[in-house]
Every structure is written in structure tokens, then in C-alpha cells.
Amino acid sequence: MLKCCSLYSGSTGNSFFFQTEDTKLLIDAGVSCKKIESALDSLNISPNDIDAVLITHEHIDHTRSIGVLSAKYKIPIYANSETWNSLLKTNSKLSNSNINFFNNDKSFELNDLKIIPFSTPHDAANPCGFNIFKDNKKVSIATDLGHISSDIIKCLENSSFLMLEANYDSDVLKYSSYPYLLKKRISGPNGHLENCITGKTIAHLINSGLQKALLIHLSKENNFPELAYQTVIEELKKQNYSKNDIFFNVAPRDIPSNLFQVS
């Protein structure tokens, strides 16, 4: 049994929850400790029972409360060394005692889970997504990535469940009030993922067994849930799929998503 959900998702802050019989883990802690406590409480989970927090990358919308949360509940942090060193430079509350290092592309075990971090194209020190394996099922999370390379596709193939960024709509971004350089950064190869690309990727992955997907990390300014959802539907149609071929929805910004059961 593997259950997972988004606790918070969007450019304002991200945290994701995974649970099996033996393990409870968070990926990212990008909102306040209080918010994470209240989201876990709504799932009847105590923060004291969290076995680990995995970090995708050092940006504040993924790490806001990592130091406080880890210290308060003695939760081990898992990150690669580049991400960790970058975090240490900006976060004086972090202690070195609670860090466990992983390397991108090298699997490690956490109780009954096998985890493989994979590199993502994003403007951070050494950003990554994760494949999580339990009982021959694979689930994946990929957020904050400027484009989808063939390497990323390979990492995502054969997933039963995928959390994938759907950050912005090109037209909304084009006409938004963001400064030119910020628009360029977001839409650049190491920025964020556009709805159409998210849709194309999901359509491609149905072939390799993708059954459920959750759209995550929507921009507050350059996207909205109905638009992201509809754009993915359009991309599915282009590949001759319908919305009956896969179950997917959009992670809410400020409350937990549905809990997805994978096996």
C-alpha cells in the first residue's frame, strides 16, 4: 500500500506527503511549520511520526520551514550535498546533525521504500525529482523543471502515479505584469513547465502505464486550475486519448489534495 497527496502546492509553497505501512515521509517543506502541522492533522498524522523530509531543491517555496520542522520533531532531512550547501548559506537554523546525503541517479532505501532521485533542469544548485518504488509499483514527482528532456521521460516512464508541474499558460504569462527578465526566466529551459508540455508528457506516459496524475506547482499569477486542467485534456485529445483514459486533477494551493492510493 502506498498513499500520497499534496499538502500544499504552487509557487507560494510546496509540500507532499507519502505513506506506506512502515513509512511516512514528506517531500519539501515550503510553507510554515504551522501550516504543515495543520495539513498533517487534517489527515490524522502526527509530525512526530514523519520518518524523513526529502528536498527537491533549495528554493524557499520548497524549504521555508525545513530547519524548524526538522529540529522541532527531530525529522531527518535527505538532500544532495549541493542543495544542502546552498541551503546552509541562507538558513542559519539548519543543523548539520540531521542531514542524510543522497546522490542524484543513485537509489537509496527508506524502510520499505526504494527511492531514486533524478536530475531536473531548473536554476538551482542540483535540483531533482524522485521515483519512489513500493511493491513493484513506481510513483514519481517532478516539479520545477524548465523542459522535458528524453532523460526525464525515461525517469518518468512506467510510473503508475505522477505528480507533475503545470506552472504556467504561455498566453497568460505573455500578458502578465511580470517584468521581462522574470518572464524569460520562467519560460527558459531551466525555469518552469508550461501546461501544454505537462499535457503532452502525461499523454505520452499513458502508453507506459500511467493511471493517475496530479498537476502541481501552478503559478498564482500565470495560471489557474481550470485552465491547466483543460489544457491537459486538449493535449490528451490531440494524442487520441480522452479524459477516461487517465484520472487526473489539480492540486489545491492551500489545502491537501485527495489522497491517492497506488497499490
Q: Interface residues for Zn ion in 60-99 (CB under 5 A)?
A: 61
Contact between 59 and Zn ion by CB under 5 A: the answer reads yes
Q: List the one residue out of 126, 136, 122, 131 whose CA is nearest residue 167.
A: 122
Residue 34 and residue 254 in contact, taking contact as beta carbons nearer than 8 Å: no
Which span (51-59, 63-71, 162-170, 249-257) binds Zn ion, by CB under 5 A?
A: 51-59
Helices 66-73, 33-42: crossing angle, 10 deg rounding = 60
Between 14 and 160, name the residue whose CB sits nearer to Zn ion.
Answer: 14
Between 61 and 235, name the residue whose CB sits nearer to Zn ion.
Answer: 61
Contact between 28 and Zn ion by CB under 5 A: the answer reads no
**Nearest distance in Å: CB 1, Zn ion:** 29
> Residue 212 pairs with which residues in a beta bridge?
161, 247
Contact between 194 and Zn ion by CB under 5 A: the answer reads no
Which span (88-96, 131-139, 142-150, 201-209) binds Zn ion, by CB under 5 A?
A: 142-150
Which span (15-23, 52-60, 205-213, 227-235) binds Zn ion, by CB under 5 A?
A: 52-60
Count, residues near Zn ion per rule CB under 5 A: 3
CA-to-CA distance for 147 and 106, rounded, in angstroms? 22
Cα 31-32-33 angle, rounded to 5 deg: 120
Contact between 165 and Zn ion by CB under 5 A: the answer reads no
Residues 259, 218, 187, 178, Cα dihedral to 10° = -160
**Nearest distance in Å: CB 189, Zn ion:** 14
Which span (47-55, 90-98, 136-144, 222-230) binds Zn ion, by CB under 5 A?
A: 136-144
**Pairing between β-strand 212-216 and β-strand 161-165 as defined by DSSP bridges:** parallel
Residue 27 and residue 7 in contact, taking contact as beta carbons nearer than 8 Å: no
Contact between 144 and Zn ion by CB under 5 A: the answer reads yes
Between 144 and 169, name the residue whose CB sits nearer to Zn ion.
Answer: 144
Contacts of 154 (CB under 8 A, 6+ apart): none
**Nearest distance in Å: CB 115, Zn ion:** 20
Binding site for Zn ion (CB under 5 A): 59, 61, 144
